[in-house]
Chain A
Amino acid sequence: MNATTEKKKLITERYSSFKKFFWLYWIKLNPKFILVSIIGIAITSFMETWPAILLGDGLDELINSGVTNQFYYYSIMIFVAAGIAWVAYFISAYLWTLAGFRFERDTRQEFFEVIHNHSMAFHDVNDSGVLLSMGMNEVAQMRMAYNPAIRQLVRQFFSISVTIYFLWQINSIIGIALLLCLVWYLALAWQYAKRIGPVRRKLAKELGEVSSSSQEIFRGIDVVRSYGNEEVEQKKFSKVSNNYAELIKTEGYLSSFYWPGLVLVVFTAVAFGYSMMLMMSSRQDFTVGDLTKVIALLLALNRFNFFIPRLLLMLQAGLINAERLWGVMTFDDPMIEPENPERSEWTESIVFENVSFNYPGTSKEVLKDVSFTIPPGSNVALLGGPGSGKTTVLKLLLRLYDPSEGIIRINGLDMKDLPTKEVRSSVTLVEQDIFLFSDTIKANIAFSRATATDEEISLAARRAKAANFIEAMSDGYDTVIGERGVTLSGGQRQRLAIARALLSDPKVLLLDDFASAIDVKTEVQLRAGMDELIKGRTSIMVTHRLSTLADADMIILMKKGEVVDIGTHKELLEHSEDYQFMCQYLPQKENGGN
């Protein structure tokens, strides 16, 4: 609720593209860390490269003058370099790592907040598993692009620069040649990363496929067996598994002839021969020490060759993930909060004026030109077969979606002018498939009103006829339910949902009636809870219960997204054939049972 006071600017508002987001946001988070870190990396790179020069100088000294103080100086400087490198490495890498983890933490948080705030139009079309994996794994992968990938690339960059500088000092031709070679190398390596990157990603996807397809089969193994489909499934799985194996092979093949590596290898060999020749031809300015320097520096470069492709791949993956996250976060939400928000008292009628609706991203109209008026305080029943659009009406009333056409009026105001928060604090929906959080019972009931006292919570539970079973549990209201806790029966979940709704004390209640067959004890209690819930407020209920229909102030009969008829039970029985037809199939009053 604090978001109302100081609205912080979202990532998506601060940057204009995913590239900017990728390159700037993490620097923005910790500019000082990164600055210090870069200086530290430069020092580390120098200190780790320098010993090769010291080694050469030491050897020269040895050849020329034997074990002198100068020789010891060179040797001891190697230790000094090691010490400085240690300190500089630690400071720079640690700060950089922190910056990376902070990025991961904040981006994950923001990603969640942004997508969680997207409307249902978004959540309907996006698989929650995929979103989860983006929020967890892909954000982590982005972090890996910063640390270690970019950090190491910066380090390699400095090391290479230092190497080129030293080589240049020894012999300018080798220095220049190396520079050119490295440019060539990097170009090749980047090409390589671009080629293998997609294969890697495909590989990850295929592994997901292997995993989900086997999981699915074994979860539903009783279904598989009862239809005798073991062999069919085996064939299907074999295909998926084979695809995966082939991809692994392809990836291995791609990485086998790693051409960029060849560039460095050949360069080292040629530089070796060239240096030897130099030394033999002009001993005065090219010494044995120089030869060892050249070789040591080049061999060290060959080690980088081992890391660079991996780092480039990580960087590339990070960029791609940034683009994906960006795409999801900048979802163009059709649900727009009003610029000049109105407030409604919900004291007058709720009116549907020619409302049509298709779920965002689909073209199928699930509501067609629906019009009706619900007077305040009335109990309305929605009746219709599955797929007739009843549940959609409830969702529109909660402003989970806006109508594609037509207007819903509350107290004469267009619902689009009411903020969603405002609508939802006045309207409460009790769904058919109840969702509860794996948390305590108390927290689940109080989910509708965080400020509720214990007394209010237990009162709501009592009114919802839930108190009895809650109190029978050893931990009472503090019992944890869900995966790691107690499993509740369907009827019990329903009653918790009723208690939750009671606590929110809505002006308008939306109810999706429970399924037909729950046991009778539960049924009795549930109905009592529901009666309690609809008392004294406008209620709109999807139902197939004849008694409820008979009691309703108004019945809206729907069929294939259209309103077929409106009236009381009596009226409809008289003039609506559809209603008569439906009623015929509804369970009638049992007469005696014998």
Chain B
Amino acid sequence: MSHRGRRFGGFQEEKHQLTRPTRKVLGALGIFLGNHRLGLFFSVVLIGLSSIASVISPILLKDGIDLATEDSNYQVALWFMWVFLGLTLFSWILSSINTRVQAKISSRMLFEVREKIFDSLVHADIDYLKNEQSGNVTARITSDTEEVGTGLGIIISSGIQVLLLVSSFVIIVTQVHWLVALIALVSVPVALVLSAILAYFGKRIIINIRRAFGVVSGKMAENLAGVTISKSFNREDELAEELKKLNQEHYNYNKKFGLLMQLMMPTINAVSLITLGVILIVGGILNADGVLTIGEIYLGAVLAQRFLMPVIHLSMSWPSFQSSLGAMDRILDVLEIEPKVTDALDAKKLQTEDDAIHFENVSFAYNKGVWVLEDINLSVNSGELIAVVGETGAGKTTLCTALLPRFYDVQKGSIRIGDDDIKDVELYSLRKSIGMILQEPYLFTATVMDNIRYGAPEASNEDIRDLCKLIGADEFIEALPKGYDTIVREGGKKLSAGQRQMITIARMMLANPRILVLDEATSRLDAYSESLVQRAQELLFKGRTTFVIAHRLSTIRNADRIAVIDKGKLVELGTHSELLAKRGYYAELYHTYYSFQGFEKVELSQEEWSKIEQQEREEMKRLAMMQEQMKKGKGQGKGMMKGQPTPHGAHGSTGSAHGSQKLVHPKQDMADLSPEQKKKMMEKMKLKKGKVRKE
């Protein structure tokens, strides 16, 4: 048998109610097993044969003992030895081969399950993925799959145990005596009771242990993450003291568990010894009556010992088996996902001629009935820079980063790029055409270089360096321990938020998309870097259709048009001066927020202060309500569509910190880039479609 550690006992934190009939779940398991029919069949044969061998050898021992009590010769003894040796060797070889076969089958099978799950998940609707926490999604691929593997192991080992139990019983009845069989059977209920006790108390204690362990672990993680802060405020000792308490709590639960286990284990041993004693006495009496031979007593005693372990094993592995069914059930949930957003059967590539974007009567809801966007009609001309403005939660982010790249399908109306409805276009070609910078800068565990190259695998290192120089990222990247080859770890933990955002900007720019969506793309940058990025953007991407969600007044004012969204509706559309003249919603926004952007000193009157504070309180209320709603609506649309539910990270809602002027073109050239390099860059960034853009 394999010597891989099997977890002792299957204490589960909670009972998982299967969402499908057990038969169906088992059937699904069967399908995965079915791919390895031949190997499994072979394995079953091996197990059967080696079980037979391990049942025969005690009989052999019995016969040997009985033979020895009579007079016989050496030859017989030798013969017995050889047969016994042969049988045990045979059994050893068979189970070794079996272990090998099983190792191969189970590793391949788990690989296949994993692949299937991954495939299903990677094509699942964003909707699904965002509703599930990423930890849960990962659990499907890792721990759930492992658990299914454990379940399979349990089926096999339980099969073997049952086989041994039954055959031992049959042998005792046929070869020894029914009374001995009865005595052996008595140990079965005892074992059942023991494991029931263990399961009942053990489960509770284990839940507490896990919880306490989780608390210690969480505290330690937090303290390690905040090590700079605790150092700078000299709080190391207090934190250690706090941890000590939690540690002690964990220890107390452990102690209880130790007590329980150490009461149970010797009891099992004692029961087995007592059985032995009883069989000896009963056997002796039966022997005196001439019913049993010495060898048969011996056989009974040996086999009776085999009753206890299988029963304990079986009852202990039952909960793990249940939980592995639960895991399979959850896996089936994933495998049965039918993505709603898929390529249409006759999907074609997105046309390359026209970058105008039309939202026509678009309505959209994450949760049925709760419209996030209603009846949006907006036509953006090819090459137009359009600013989308509105309060937090108005629907800006949903419109630009959720619907346009078709992460979600609209419920009403349609979105067209040129003449193509995005529903009729291949997702790949659609998304490749749109470059987005999302609110949360997200980096992968890879070198800085590879992170930037993510959207343009063919780009050379030199291209990347040039681009970084252009946007002013080169300097900080070079200052990293290994420059561009520094590996970004833990999502870029060691980079500042601004640096992470710089890298995502470089990544998007390098991908050289036709259409740009910038969702607070520079919100985490310092003012100097921000202006460099904006200049680079102007240089490289001027004349491409661009959506900007921004709070910076200059950006908004520089936009060709401004779309103002309030509570999911497009309320105003026009240029800055048109909208101001209108004295509507935008004008109000502008006067409350943007016109502040020029201030230098905080010199506010009492009135203004209380107004600001009043607004903040109201906003907090609104957000609290929204979070409440989210909870009710099972947290639809959280995560990516950050603008919607919760404010998160280092940026707030509307308005930008700095007033800014239109950028003056300096005489000096930006950053370290020579004019030639810059030109080369522009050359590279030209759209490959060969289309002449209008200016």
**Chain A residues in 8 Å Cβ range of B432:** 227-228
* Interface residue from A89, A252, A258 paired with B107 (Cβ < 8 Å): A252
**Chain A residues in 8 Å Cβ range of B71:** 280
In the complex the two chains form, what is the Cα distance from A88 to B141 in whole Å?
Answer: 45
**Chain B residues in 8 Å Cβ range of A67:** 284-285, 287-288
- Tell me if A221 is interfacial: C-beta within 8 Å of chain B: yes
- Given A72-B281, A89-B265, A587-B660: A295 touches B81 (CB 8 Å cut-off): no
Within 8 A of B (CB), among A30-81: 44, 48, 51, 55, 58-59, 62-63, 66-67, 71-72, 74-76, 78-79, 81
Within 8 A of B (CB), among A281-330: 281, 288, 291-292, 295-296, 299, 309-310, 313
- Looking at A296, A450, A593, the one whose CB has the most chain B CB atoms below 10 A away is A593
In the complex the two chains form, what is the Cα distance from A102 to B250 in whole Å?
Answer: 10
* Interface residue from A226, A269, A421 paired with B431 (Cβ < 8 Å): A226
Interface string of B653-686 (1 = CB under 8 A from A): 1111111110010101000000000000000000
CB of A253 within 8 A of CB of B69, answer no
CB of B551 within 8 A of CB of A273, answer no
CB of A245 within 8 A of CB of B111, answer yes
- Tell me if B192 is interfacial: C-beta within 8 Å of chain A: no
B434 nearest CB neighbor, chain A only = A226
How far in angstroms is the closest Cβ of chain B from A122?
9
- Looking at A62, A227, A257, A268, the one whose CB has the most chain B CB atoms below 10 A away is A227
How far in angstroms is the closest Cβ of chain A from B444?
6
Which listed segment binds A: B97-105, B164-172, B321-329, B561-569? B97-105
- Tell me if A6 is interfacial: C-beta within 8 Å of chain B: no
Interface string of B264-306 (1 = CB under 8 A from A): 0111011001101100110011011000001001100110000
CB of B616 within 8 A of CB of A560, answer no
- Given A136-B220, A386-B499, A447-B235: A291 touches B431 (CB 8 Å cut-off): no
**Chain A residues in 8 Å Cβ range of B64:** 272, 276, 291
In the complex the two chains form, what is the Cα distance from A82 to B110 in whole Å?
Answer: 44
CB of A487 within 8 A of CB of B438, answer no
How far in angstroms is the closest Cβ of chain B from A264?
10
B654 nearest CB neighbor, chain A only = A519
CB of B481 within 8 A of CB of A249, answer no
In the complex the two chains form, what is the Cα distance from A137 to B220 in whole Å?
Answer: 12
- Tell me if A150 is interfacial: C-beta within 8 Å of chain B: no
B497 nearest CB neighbor, chain A only = A433
- Tell me if B594 is interfacial: C-beta within 8 Å of chain A: yes
How far in angstroms is the closest Cβ of chain B from A73?
11
**Chain A residues in 8 Å Cβ range of B240:** 109, 112-113, 116
- Tell me if A473 is interfacial: C-beta within 8 Å of chain B: yes
- Tell me if B42 is interfacial: C-beta within 8 Å of chain A: no
CB of A248 within 8 A of CB of B103, answer yes
- Tell me if B526 is interfacial: C-beta within 8 Å of chain A: yes
In the complex the two chains form, what is the Cα distance from A36 to B237 in whole Å?
Answer: 36
- Tell me if A338 is interfacial: C-beta within 8 Å of chain B: no
Which listed segment binds B: A160-168, A408-416, A424-432? A424-432
CB of B595 within 8 A of CB of A245, answer no
Within 8 A of B (CB), among A183-214: 196, 207, 210-214
**Chain B residues in 8 Å Cβ range of A518:** 523, 650-652, 656-657
- Looking at B522, B613, B666, the one whose CB has the most chain A CB atoms below 10 A away is B613
In the complex the two chains form, what is the Cα distance from A389 to B478 in whole Å?
Answer: 12
In the complex the two chains form, what is the Cα distance from A105 to B254 in whole Å?
Answer: 10
In the complex the two chains form, what is the Cα distance from A253 to B668 in whole Å?
Answer: 68
- Given A424-B234, A590-B659: A251 touches B103 (CB 8 Å cut-off): yes
CB of A519 within 8 A of CB of B222, answer no
Within 8 A of A (CB), among B124-173: 126, 129, 134-135, 137-138, 141-142, 146
Within 8 A of A (CB), among B622-665: 640, 646-661, 664
In the complex the two chains form, what is the Cα distance from A427 to B522 in whole Å?
Answer: 31
**Chain B residues in 8 Å Cβ range of A15:** none
- Tell me if B223 is interfacial: C-beta within 8 Å of chain A: yes
CB of A252 within 8 A of CB of B104, answer yes
Interface string of A565-591 (1 = CB under 8 A from B): 000000000000100011011111111
Q: Can you identify 18 A-B contacts, CB atoms within 8 angstroms? A: A48-B273, A75-B281, A90-B266, A101-B258, A116-B230, A117-B236, A132-B220, A230-B122, A242-B111, A258-B3, A266-B89, A288-B294, A313-B5, A385-B472, A472-B616, A515-B524, A515-B526, A520-B594
| 6 further A-B pairs in the complex, CB-CB below 8 A; given A128-B221, A291-B68 | A128-B224, A245-B108, A310-B5, A386-B472, A517-B657, A546-B600
